[in-house]
Amino acid sequence: MDNIKIEPIQFDNDSLQPRYIQLFQYIKDLIIEGRISTGEKLPAIRNLSNELKVNNVTVVNAYKQLENTGYITAKKGSGFYVSKRPAKDEKNNYFRTEDGKNIINFASASPHPSIFPTESFKECINEVIERDKGYAFSYQESNGFEPLKECISDFLNMEHDIDIKPHNLQIVSGAQQGLDIIGKVLLNSGDYVITETPTYDGALEVFKTRGARCVGVNIKDDGIDLIELEKKIRICKPKILYVMTKFQNPTTVCYSKEKISRLLQLASKYDVFIVEDDSTSEISFKASDRYSLKAMDKDDKVIYIKSFSKILMPGLRVGTLVIPKSLISEFTQSKYTSDISSSSLIQRSVDLFYRKGKWNEHTKYMKEIYKGKYEFMLSKLENLRKYNVDFKEPNGGLYFWVKLPQYINSKTLHEKCLERELLVLPSHVFYPNAHKLKNSFIRLSFAFCSIEEIKTGMEILEDIIKNSRADI
Amino acid sequence: MDNIKIEPIQFDNDSLQPRYIQLFQYIKDLIIEGRISTGEKLPAIRNLSNELKVNNVTVVNAYKQLENTGYITAKKGSGFYVSKRPAKDEKNNYFRTEDGKNIINFASASPHPSIFPTESFKECINEVIERDKGYAFSYQESNGFEPLKECISDFLNMEHDIDIKPHNLQIVSGAQQGLDIIGKVLLNSGDYVITETPTYDGALEVFKTRGARCVGVNIKDDGIDLIELEKKIRICKPKILYVMTKFQNPTTVCYSKEKISRLLQLASKYDVFIVEDDSTSEISFKASDRYSLKAMDKDDKVIYIKSFSKILMPGLRVGTLVIPKSLISEFTQSKYTSDISSSSLIQRSVDLFYRKGKWNEHTKYMKEIYKGKYEFMLSKLENLRKYNVDFKEPNGGLYFWVKLPQYINSKTLHEKCLERELLVLPSHVFYPNAHKLKNSFIRLSFAFCSIEEIKTGMEILEDIIKNSRADI
């Protein structure tokens, strides 16, 4: 049988996905769409790599991935053939959350599924279904399941000194939806939003889908630059100021108390709502004062977003907003229009998880795990200082913001890491516009990887940095 | 102890909520916000009804509701007192999905929780957690869990003659989110959308949050008025044409095959995307041809929304879109920005539910249940023809669209029904703009109520209509 011909793929060089994954997906799609049929033979590795002008390893890895996911079969001494369509109940399909799972992932800031409280949460789900029967699968109130809102008020009060009533909460399907709903309520086409620079790109995306214009303000060691901020507020008259006051993403900066007070004063003076996005403030490895904008928000100008993805499980798709009183009904309406309500079953199960004390128990456990990994990565990073690598110790959160030596930029480093199956986040993804620091940093997270993987990953990183210096 | 004074409430006369529910919520909020304290005595029923200028019954019912939900306690011979804050684990809280549960609800088109496949779905959830462990609580791919997409392709192919690949599907957190994402991808401020008149108000809300302008086209017995439609397409150059081709909401109209063909021709001619919203097409009580726009969509101009809320359970918050090839990546991106992904656990559980054959089994069961209730309500409705009530037999779907006699309009009827704890949907909610038919119809759904409740509800309805005629 003749080998089939694969039409040349256009690689996306700006993609965070390594080429072999791009190639894997390209061929997978050809198979799924029936453009390559069952039994057909794929080109030999050398031929395809010549044709596509890529490294052999890229093709090898793409084929390996296709084999692992059941799309092709290797016949010894003969080559690779398109498999019968994967049986529907084939088991390995179900474990795949993302392609390319063999990679060491310093980019993801999500906890690894192996440390999720799967068993105890399963018990809660079962108890809820026993207790509430079909009501666990009905629509929930759009603003959220009332008892869960009571738990979260408790939590925010105890853990964050945020003194609110359940009434002020809007349950959302994760923090990202919180951002989406904020955008819908507060932004119209042409409105301005001021963010920190650098900042979380997923927030910028939301603001842009509302037709808003985003303006960045530099961040200093104690928080956003207030002089630059006030100047830009005067010029732009923004509707929203979007900040992360604790372990800022990606810089890990924590705002000083003074900066927080002055920020609140500015918000009142210019009548701007502040959106305070908090996904990791609980993950602090050093006793320190607890303050957030929301905790000190006397004029009710702060919309606070609380994600539970990092301290519980990202797949729950449950988070919360704390809403200024004047906006509560608009938020409920907007949530309704967005998806009616968040999952009744999951809200009820999280509620029970909290009331049984499992929430506290688990977040303590997570913090221990994170702390061990933090300290391990920190020690390995210290070791890189000799190559002029620099960073601040965040003492919390889930990543390091690492300044690279001048002889290597983050895009190149990111690519070199990828070739060795290590994923790091280059800084340009956090800088929406041209910016002098755009390619000077990488963000390294220890959330997803095991100690063993961190060790290997950091060795690869050292090796690449060392060799880059030698290249000069 | 003196009775406390309740500040006069502003009743919202346009609200679908009865006054007693409005009063209930008003007092509940006063309690929650701490403006009335534990142990305080509420005004006597007669005093409060005098002061608020409402019927005694309104106050009685509001108090009853407050008592049922644990906010107040009746002391025999003495009056009503604010309770200690409801204990957090108080059981009745958990069963409350919406306030006012004693009402006979002909407005909701959701199945009743008692007929949900709770047990078999629970088994699937447990199997999934056993099998996938923490991966059941990880982020899922934004476009959806691949094996579930295979199941849904199967389903759409078998049940709806829609021939697509899993690749064309975008899993969403319910049909409402499907609409939201369609709006984000296709609509910008000032764009036009053409809809049927009357139509689903939740869709109009989405289009409006995108800043779009909605234009209605009348619907005839075999579907939208094509002459009026073409005229309006020429004038407005709409981005989207939004229709429901089977058991249209609220008119129950089914499109003829010819109309579907001609609609597709128009979409190609004027390069408009058609959004076909399908929540109830499976619920057909008469053998008939199966055709939808999407099934006949050769030019890939139709975005098809499939809700599973009516045939499975609304609280799953899982539905799907079928996306034209040219738009797939934009939809994935927009889903990511909206809420990253839909629940991994629920997607995996629905997948297993399908593969075990439970889905088919359950939808058959649902259809049987619905059919019984449909026929019962139909027989009771026939009985109202003598009062000049008119309607068409839809032979499927979940409601009747009932034309009222000239001597009573739907707003008045709706209010009179509410006074007797019967909820019907007046037609004005489906007519966004002034329209001559705005107050001529009611929508009666048999989805949520038991046969017993339908019997009682229809008796109340007959009584009110009969008396209204007598009033002339």
Kindly list the residues from chain A whose CB atom is less than 8 angstroms away from the CB atom of residue B25.
none
> What pLDDT, on a 0 to 100 scale, did the predictor assign at position B97?
39
pLDDT > 60? residue B87: no
Residue with tokens 């009357």: B198
Q: Is A131 on the interface with B (CB under 8 A)?
A: yes
> What pLDDT, on a 0 to 100 scale, did the predictor assign at position A89?
34
**Residue A51 — pLDDT band, cuts 50, 70, 90?**
confident
pLDDT > 60? residue B281: yes
Taking only the tens place, the pLDDT of each residue in A430-469 is 997 777 778 899 999 999 999 999 999 999 999 999 998 8
Contact B137 A343 (CB under 8 A): no
Tell me whether strands A399-403 and A441-445 are parallel, antiparallel or unpaired: antiparallel
Rounded to two decimals, the pTM is 0.81
The dihedral built from the CA positions of residue A340, A344, A345 and A349, taken in this order, carries a sign that is positive
* All residues at 6 or more sequence positions from B144 whose CB lies less than 8 Å from its CB, including other chains: B169, B170, B171, B320, B341, B342, B347
Contact A113 B122 (CB under 8 A): no
Q: Which of residues 334-373 of B touch A (CB under 8 A)?
A: 334, 336-346, 348, 355
Radius of gyration of chain A (CA): 24
Q: Mean pLDDT for chain B?
A: 90
Nearest CA in chain B to A166: B32
Residue with tokens 């200082």: A385
Q: Could you tell me how far CA B231 lies from the centroid of its own chain?
A: 31
pLDDT > 60? residue A325: yes
Kindly list the residues from chain B whose CB atom is less than 8 angstroms away from the CB atom of residue A150.
88
Shortest distance, CA B96 to any CA of chain A (angstroms): 8
Taking only the tens place, the pLDDT of each residue in A199-234 is 999 999 999 999 999 999 999 999 999 999 999 999
Taking only the tens place, the pLDDT of each residue in B173-204 is 999 999 999 999 999 999 999 999 999 999 99
> What pLDDT, on a 0 to 100 scale, did the predictor assign at position B19?
79
pLDDT > 50? residue B89: no
> What pLDDT, on a 0 to 100 scale, did the predictor assign at position A452?
95
pLDDT > 50? residue A88: no
Beta bridge partners of A284: A396
Taking only the tens place, the pLDDT of each residue in B410-430 is 999 999 999 999 999 999 999
pLDDT > 90? residue A285: yes
Q: Which of A76, A85, A71, A79 is closest to A23 using CA atoms? A: A71
pLDDT > 50? residue A96: no
Contact A166 B114 (CB under 8 A): no
pLDDT > 80? residue B434: no
Phi/psi of residue A303, each to 5°? -100, 120
SS3 of residue B253 by DSSP: coil
Residue ranges in B300-408 assigned as alpha helix (H): 328-339, 344-355, 358-382
**Residue B88 — pLDDT band, cuts 50, 70, 90?**
very low
DSSP-derived letter for residue A15 is -
From B88, B93, B132, residue closest to A94, measured CB to CB: B132
Q: Mean pLDDT for chain A?
A: 90
**Residue B251 — pLDDT band, cuts 50, 70, 90?**
very high
pLDDT > 90? residue A38: no
Shortest distance, CA A316 to any CA of chain B (angstroms): 6
Nearest CA in chain B to A136: B315
Phi/psi of residue A275, each to 5°? -100, 115
> What pLDDT, on a 0 to 100 scale, did the predictor assign at position B213?
96
Kindly list the residues from chain B whose CB atom is less than 8 angstroms away from the CB atom of residue A340.
174, 176, 314, 317
> What pLDDT, on a 0 to 100 scale, did the predictor assign at position A22?
80
pLDDT > 60? residue B90: no
Q: Which of A349, A329, A346, A348 is closest to A337 using CA atoms? A: A329
> For the complex shown, is ipTM > 0.95?
no
Burial call A23-34: b when 16+ CB within 10 Å, e when fewer = bbbbbbebbbee
pLDDT > 60? residue A86: no
DSSP-derived letter for residue B433 is S
From B32, B113, B339, residue closest to A135, measured CB to CB: B113
Q: How many CB atoms lie within 10 A of CB A202?
A: 16
Shortest distance, CA A407 to any CA of chain B (angstroms): 35
pLDDT > 90? residue A34: no
> What pLDDT, on a 0 to 100 scale, did the predictor assign at position A76?
72
pLDDT > 80? residue A32: no
Distance CA B379, CA B392 (A): 13
> What pLDDT, on a 0 to 100 scale, did the predictor assign at position B101?
56
> What pLDDT, on a 0 to 100 scale, did the predictor assign at position B96?
38
From B97, B180, B189, residue closest to A138, measured CB to CB: B97
The strand ranges marked E within A236-313 are 240-243, 273-278, 302-307
Q: Is A201 on the interface with B (CB under 8 A)?
A: no
Nearest CA in chain A to B123: A126
> What pLDDT, on a 0 to 100 scale, did the predictor assign at position A35?
80
User: A–B: how many Cβ contacts below 8 A?
Assistant: 216
Shortest distance, CA A209 to any CA of chain B (angstroms): 7
Q: Which of A174, A175, A228, A176 is closest to A197 using CA atoms? A: A228
Nearest CA in chain B to A115: B134
Mean of pLDDT values over A243-252? 97
> What pLDDT, on a 0 to 100 scale, did the predictor assign at position A188?
93
